[in-house]
Structure 1
Amino acid sequence: MTANIIQFPGKQVAAPLPAPLNEKVRDDSAPTKVPARRGSKARSDGRRINHSKYRSVEPNIQKIPGEDGGCSYRVQIRKTVQGESVSFTKTFSKLAMARKWKKRKLAEIELNGVQAVSKKGDTVAHAITARLAKHKHLGSSARQQLNWLKKSDFGKKKLTELSLESLTDLADDMLAEDRQPQTVAGYLSILVNTLYWASRRNFIVPVAALKEAMEHMWEDEILARSEERNRRPTMDELDKILGAACGNKRQKIPLAKIIVFAIFSCRRLGEICRLRWEDLRIEQKKILVRDMKHPRKKKGNDVWCNLTDEALAVILSMPREGDFIFPFNARSVGAAWRRHRVRLNIRDLRFHDLRHEGITRLFEMGMPAAFVAKHSGHKNGGCLYRYEHVEKEGDKFAGWQWSHWATRGSANIVFR
């Protein structure tokens, strides 16, 4: 069949033939789906972005032209961890900034490695396990609390399902088991701290919900802070405990000396058992207290503390048989203290109360807060506001027989 010919001056144009009856006519005015081409990706408006325009400047850095004629630089680093592809991507306006970030990120990956990407099925127990494995220096109380939470029903909950209600329910369940609000606050604080930590390490955690839950529980007084203790040992109670400690010939721990030292040095039990001979400065009357308790810094918080004359005398009375001045396990010392206290029916007296007694003694002697802080290890005198009410009464331990015994011998002591 010959096509219809339309005559124009100087040229011939073929007119389209009518379509067969069984053939569909394409309507070019209707939208059509353009098949994806290699190097392109879909946009929200249905058009394609042509990545062939992106030019590789150097490994891991692409130059991306902008619509305004400018350009940006995208850094993309891919690593495979446990069979999963992990990508780090960031875009910069300047090439120098992109190179700097790339260099720093590659060094960070080489130094610390790459952690696997969090799965949506990760549970609270998974996050706790990761924290315990990474932070070997966590205190015994924190580890005990995290392990309990890990094994509980709450540990089976998926991280992505955590909410204000789930944390509130956990607090209510713990309170129903006769735990004090202060105790529950301790558990939830270490839990939320751990989940915050996990959120910064590729775990999918609803941080906003956790923050809201804690604020809600503090406001509604579901949680409570520990009350400040003002318990002080009486001289009679100290006489009884020290006498019992000295009368126990089978006990290898010099508990009486440690008790006396705790009062005069204002030290915690764990700190006492970590004191080293090499850290003692006799002429300056001071000693380095390693890893002193700190709300955030658990390791490396080493503080030089002044020693009272009595505390230094107790140290010098100890035999130098190793690296540690008091080479004993803090738990064993604490157990011996509690054993004697129970046998003597002395109630509600903790070893930590001896530190409180020592600090109070210095204030009663008329020492200023800044002076006391150098002995107690507080960062500044303002931290000792709870002792502002203490009146100057002098030193009630002046001439105390146990001070004489702990530093020179036990010949003049009458055991009870």
Structure 2
Amino acid sequence: MATIRKRGTKWQVQIRRQGFPTISRSFLKKGDAAEWARHWEAKADRNELPANAKVLDSISLGQLVERYRDEVVVTKRGAEDETVVLNAFLRDPLCKKKLSALSTADFATYRDRRLTSISARTLARQLAPLSNMFNIAKREWGIPLGKNPLSDLRMAVQDNRRDRRLREHELDRLIKVSRKTRNPLVLPFLFALETAMRRGEILAMRWEHVDLSHRFVIILESKNGRSRIIPLTPKAVSLLRVVPQRDNVPFVFPLAANALRLSWDRLTSRAGINDLHFHDLRHEAISRFFELGLTVPEVASISGHRDVRMLMRYAHADASRLANKLEQALA
């Protein structure tokens, strides 16, 4: 709030806003004082006042990260993975720095150090929660931060999107290895191939949302926050029929995300398959849907994509099948 008062021959203006230091200036003319006051009040409304060093001196980056982790991250669907990322970041010396001394240059140094061991795309994903944290701290927690120090950080992320599909005999090798284990919970990878469901969606699937007689499963909440109904192929139905239903266990595949990740790593290792991620199965399934002749809207209704451009990033038809199709069309 601005206060204008006459002191001697001059007009003094004071700008006061909770959480920010008082700003004052004197003018010979009242009109100039009023104009200056309007300028700074507008800045105050946009949270652009200079930060209060005393408040920022009392909070370290690590303390801010811990509050964000404990108050915000726990409410997210991906809380487990994001917590792991933030806990790892908390071990970095940068977290000891006070907010008053934190700058984009500090994160630039951190970026350059981290890029020696991880890709730019991975680092960008890890920094995304921190950027959101600064915005929430400023807008909702009343912490008088200046500009988000990550907003000007340059991240030269290369387009390294994956187009990995199953190669010849890889599926047979995975199935052969999986049959040697007594644990039927290795079946999620086959189910992913039939449905194009994400790992998190498969692990969150409950028996009460599965209708085997009508061959569909309901996903109440997906990555984009929307529900959808996924049709089940005959093979998907047969896979679910061999999964045991346990009393008081509502989940179809009662596995933790990390347990499934480790199971997948063991499975691919025993099958002698390299560079095949569980998420690549979603890529494979979507590409197969297109090869079967499903339209873009039909595939999108199964995969849950709302942006056709994102959907087409997953669609990579097998070159040999396309060649055969062209040969038949030109015959």
2:189 pairs with 1:259: yes
Q: Indicate the SS of the match to 1:149.
A: helix
Say what the alpha-carbon RMSD is for the aligned residues.
3.1
Q: CA, structure 1 residues 388+337, in 2 after alignment: closer, same or farther (shift >3 Å)?
A: closer
Corresponding residue of 1:137: 75
Corresponding residue of 1:270: 200
Identity %: 26
Contact 2:210 2:216 in 1 (8 A): yes
Displacement of 1:208 after TM fit? 4.9
2:298 pairs with 1:386: no
Q: CA, structure 1 residues 302+283, in 2 after alignment: closer, same or farther (shift >3 Å)?
A: farther
Q: CA, structure 1 residues 328+166, in 2 after alignment: closer, same or farther (shift >3 Å)?
A: closer
Displacement of 1:246 after TM fit? 1.0
Corresponding residue of 2:301: 374
Cα separation, 1, equivalents of 2:189 and 2:255: 13
Contact 1:360 1:387 in 2 (8 A): yes
2:174 pairs with 1:241: yes
Displacement of 1:302 after TM fit? 4.6
Corresponding residue of 2:275: 348
Tell me which of 215, 222, 239 is aligned to 1:314: 239
Contact 1:253 1:333 in 2 (8 A): no
Count how many residue pairs are aligned between Structure 1 and Structure 2. Answer: 273
Contact 1:159 1:204 in 2 (8 A): no
Contact 1:266 1:359 in 2 (8 A): yes
Cα separation, 2, equivalents of 1:44 and 1:164: 41
Tell me which of 123, 141, 165 is aligned to 1:232: 165
Task: Give the letter for the 2:222 counterpart.
Answer: M
Q: Deviations over 1:185-207 (max 9, x none)?
A: 22222222211121121123222
- 1:5-404 aligned within 5 A: 43=5, 45=7, 118-135=55-72, 136-138=74-76, 139=78, 140-176=80-116, 178-200=117-139, 201-212=141-152, 214=153, 217-218=154-155, 221=156, 224=157, 227-249=160-182, 252-255=183-186, 257-282=187-212, 285-294=215-224, 301-310=225-234, 311-321=236-246, 322-387=249-314, 390=317, 393=321
Q: Deviations over 1:224-260 (max 9, x none)?
A: 15621111112411111211111123xx2431x3222
Task: Give the letter for the 1:254 counterpart.
Answer: L
Q: CA, structure 1 residues 225+239, in 2 after alignment: closer, same or farther (shift >3 Å)?
A: same
Q: Which has the higher strand share?
A: 1
Q: What are the ranges of 5 or more consecutive residues in structure 1 without an aligned counterpart?
A: 1-40, 50-66, 68-89, 92-116, 295-300, 395-416
Relative to the length of structure 1, the TM-score reads 0.59
Contact 1:185 1:225 in 2 (8 A): no
Task: Give the letter for the 2:144 counterpart.
Answer: I
Q: Which has the larger radius of gyration?
A: 1
Contact 1:253 1:328 in 2 (8 A): no
Q: Which has the higher helix share?
A: 2
Q: Indicate the SS of the match to 2:166.
A: coil
Cα separation, 2, equivalents of 1:280 and 1:44: 75
Relative to the length of structure 2, the TM-score reads 0.72
Q: CA, structure 1 residues 184+244, in 2 after alignment: closer, same or farther (shift >3 Å)?
A: same
Cα separation, 2, equivalents of 1:380 and 1:191: 26
Q: Indicate the SS of the match to 1:147.
A: helix
Q: CA, structure 1 residues 160+210, in 2 after alignment: closer, same or farther (shift >3 Å)?
A: farther
Displacement of 1:43 after TM fit? 3.8
Displacement of 1:306 after TM fit? 2.0
